[in-house]
Structure 1
């Protein structure tokens, strides 16, 4: 190989390294953005809770009384 090819080869290695660094940073940034969006959506859903069902708690109905009698 001649000496002229070495600098070109060195530039190619540097550009490949920079490309791999950029890919890694892009993937990491995408993961952070996806996680942030999920947290924001979860926080937005929480205040919308509806309390339509007004349960009074435990109810002792006839079938429950029948079961208690078998014990």
Structure 2
């Protein structure tokens, strides 16, 4: 189980958006790198809004299923 971490919205996390996202303000998720064992996720339209954290394993499985067209 990952150790809980405090994720800072401004200046404390390197957020990135999918390369499949457009720059027109559409529905996009961003993830933050540099947090061992967890993946912080937020809505790109609300950068200071709430965020979710997922354990790395389940997040990686979800992304693999999306890439495989299973979801």
By the TM > 0.5 criterion, same fold?
no
More strand by share: 2
More helix by share: 1
TM-score (normalised: structure 2): 0.24
Higher relative contact order (CA 8 A, sep 6+): 2
Larger Rg: 1
